[in-house]
Amino acid sequence: MASIKPSAHLADVRYEIRGALTRRSRELEAAGLPIIKLNIGNPGRYGFETPTHLREAIARHLHDSEAYGHEQGLEEAREAIVAQQRHRGAQGVEMERVFIGNGVSELIDLSLRALLQPGDEVLLPSPDYPLWSAATILNDGKPRYYRCLAEHGHLPDPDEIESLITPRTRALVLINPNNPTGAVYPKALLERIVAIAARHRLLLLSDEIYDEILYDGTPFQPLAAVAGELPCVSFGGLSKVHRACGYRVGWMSLSGAHARTADYRDALQLLAALRLCANVTAQWAVRPALQSAPTINELTSPGGRLHEARKAVLDGVAASQFLDIVAPSGALYAFPRVRADRLAEFDDNAFALRLLEEESVLVVPGSSFNVPHSRHLRLTLLPPPEQIREVFARIERVLAGMAAAHKPRAAVA
């Protein structure tokens, strides 16, 4: 019998965060080898817990969660999201312009499906979170990448962004705070990007899932407040700030002038209705999450576990002969780079496989984030600091071995 052929769309879709290296790590674990995993931002797998008051809110409402809910989400949850967005300065946000989904991942897909015609272009950062590229491709769009280079603090160049715009460009995506680099975009940069979007009538899509995970006093500037009447979709959720990945609760809010976004809002509502509703049970945690005192600060402040894990990364890079890094200002990741002056020949995928096979450490190669010819690695900050210190000792051993193998041999007389 003929084999079933998958969709041709998938030929250009990648998600190496859970790809071949992860499958190999599972094989090694099945053989009895303990693997240190730094590949995924999943707090619950590293001993972090969802705040108790969120669990209790869900428990109180189990009986109220047995029927389908509103396709856009529970009213009380959307009211809390509207209040948050208005407090942050977003214009035109109201309940009918807020959508709750099964994580931000689902909503990224919906936002692009409601927008794109075949061949339309979406401006994406490089490195990006690869779901954005995948969702663009799977909805018949074409990714175009603007660079966020380490030499520029992993911040984009607005002039380069504008140079990439064509008549087919429909949207401009920002990931702020950034995954995988940890960059946090200053207000002046966002103002320049908004001006570009206004000139070219682009929809702004701002992935802000890490909005409160910040280090060393770095401020976070929501894009919607800068965009004003310009159409902007802002994404947030419970997964990261509230350490509730398994709840699968994300949201997107549509801000800007109603006249320009009415048809798009209706398209989003239709797509939301087609999947009936998001998980009802976990939505009861949204209001207490947004209306209670923040719980993330004790983790990101000096002495907190995330702060100390970040420090362990920076110390490990400082002690290395081979690495450099732009210190992450936010999010849950670090993006160190192997220095070309210390190791000229370097393949990030080959290194990651060798690190896994020889030292039982799982990281994600930088090229997995749509960076051509990457010398970067993405590490999560979620493991305990002492484990991160051990990881850097293992990374250094593998890099030293690679350097020794490439060292020119002395000429024989």
User: Which among 235, 266, 291 is the end of a domain?
Assistant: 291
Which CATH number does the domain housing residue 356 bear? 3.90.1150.10
Looking at the structure, tell me whether residues 170 and 278 fall in a common domain.
Answer: yes
Q: Label each residue of the chain as H, E or C.
A: CCCCCCCHHHHHCCCHHHCHHHHHHHHHHHCCCCCEECCCCCHHHHCCCCCHHHHHHHHHCHHHHCCCCCCCCCHHHHHHHHHHHHHCCCCCCCHHHEEEECHHHHHHHHHHHCCCCCCCEEEEEECCCHHHHHHHHHCCCEEEEEECCHHHCCCCCHHHHHHCCCCCEEEEEEECCCCCCCCCCCHHHHHHHHHHHHHHCCEEEEECCCCCCECCCCCCCCHHHHHCCCCEEEEEECCCCCCCHHHCCEEEEEECCHHHHHHHHHHHHHHHHHCCCCCHHHHCCHHHHHHCCCCCHHHHCCCCHHHHHHHHHHHHHHHCCCEECCCCCECCEECCEECCCCCCCCCHHHHHHHHHHHHCEECEEHHHHCCCCCCEEEEECCCCHHHHHHHHHHHHHHHHHHHHHHCCCCCCC
Residue 176 has pLDDT above 70, yes or no: yes
How far, in Å, CA of 44 to CA of 47, rounded? 6
Work out the mean pLDDT of the chain and round it to a whole number. 94
pLDDT bracket for residue 156 (50, 70, 90): very high
User: Which among 233, 257, 291 is the end of a domain?
Assistant: 291
Cβ-based neighbour number of residue 95 at 10 Å: 15
How far, in Å, CA of 103 to CA of 299, rounded? 23
What is the count of structural domains for the chain?
2
Looking at the structure, tell me whether residues 246 and 395 fall in a common domain.
Answer: no
* Average pLDDT value for residue range 177-189: 97
Looking at the structure, tell me whether residues 120 and 201 fall in a common domain.
Answer: yes
User: Which among 274, 291, 308 is the end of a domain?
Assistant: 291
Looking at the structure, tell me whether residues 111 and 259 fall in a common domain.
Answer: yes
Residue 341 has φ and ψ, to the nearest 5°, of -75, -15
How far, in Å, CA of 368 to CA of 351, rounded? 13
Residue 412 is assigned to a structural domain of this protein:
no
Looking at the structure, tell me whether residues 221 and 121 fall in a common domain.
Answer: yes
Residue 3 is assigned to a structural domain of this protein:
no
What is the model's pLDDT at position 7? 82
Looking at the structure, tell me whether residues 343 and 359 fall in a common domain.
Answer: yes
Residue 201 has φ and ψ, to the nearest 5°, of 55, 50
pLDDT bracket for residue 413 (50, 70, 90): very low
Q: What's the domain range around 380?
A: 8-49+298-406
Under 8 Å between Cβ of 215 and 330: yes
Residue 237 has φ and ψ, to the nearest 5°, of 175, -175
Task: Write out pLDDT tens, residues 26-55.
Answer: 999 999 999 999 998 999 999 999 999 999
Residue 1 is assigned to a structural domain of this protein:
no
* Average pLDDT value for residue range 311-338: 97
pLDDT bracket for residue 372 (50, 70, 90): confident
Residue 2 is assigned to a structural domain of this protein:
no
Residue 61 is assigned to a structural domain of this protein:
yes
Looking at the structure, tell me whether residues 106 and 229 fall in a common domain.
Answer: yes
Q: Are strands 232-237 and 203-207 parallel, antiparallel or unpaired?
A: parallel
Residue 18 has pLDDT above 80, yes or no: no
Residue 287 is assigned to a structural domain of this protein:
yes
Which CATH number does the domain housing residue 96 bear? 3.40.640.10
Residue 107 is assigned to a structural domain of this protein:
yes
249: which 2 tokens?
């609760």
Looking at the structure, tell me whether residues 198 and 230 fall in a common domain.
Answer: yes
Looking at the structure, tell me whether residues 254 and 326 fall in a common domain.
Answer: no
What is the model's pLDDT at position 373? 84
Residue 411 has pLDDT above 50, yes or no: no
How far, in Å, CA of 329 to CA of 127, rounded? 16
Task: Write out pLDDT tens, residues 103-117.
Answer: 999 999 999 999 999
Looking at the structure, tell me whether residues 12 and 154 fall in a common domain.
Answer: no
Task: Write out pLDDT tens, residues 337-360.
Answer: 999 999 999 999 999 999 999 999
* Average pLDDT value for residue range 131-155: 96
What is the model's pLDDT at position 205? 98
Residue 413 is assigned to a structural domain of this protein:
no
Looking at the structure, tell me whether residues 35 and 63 fall in a common domain.
Answer: no
Q: What share of the chain in percent tops pLDDT 70?
A: 98
Name the more confident of 100 and 10: 100
Task: Write out pLDDT tens, residues 129-139.
Answer: 999 999 999 99
Looking at the structure, tell me whether residues 336 and 231 fall in a common domain.
Answer: no
pLDDT bracket for residue 203 (50, 70, 90): very high
pTM of the full predicted structure?
A: 0.93
How far, in Å, CA of 135 to CA of 207, rounded? 14
How far, in Å, CA of 339 to CA of 359, rounded? 21
pLDDT bracket for residue 13 (50, 70, 90): confident
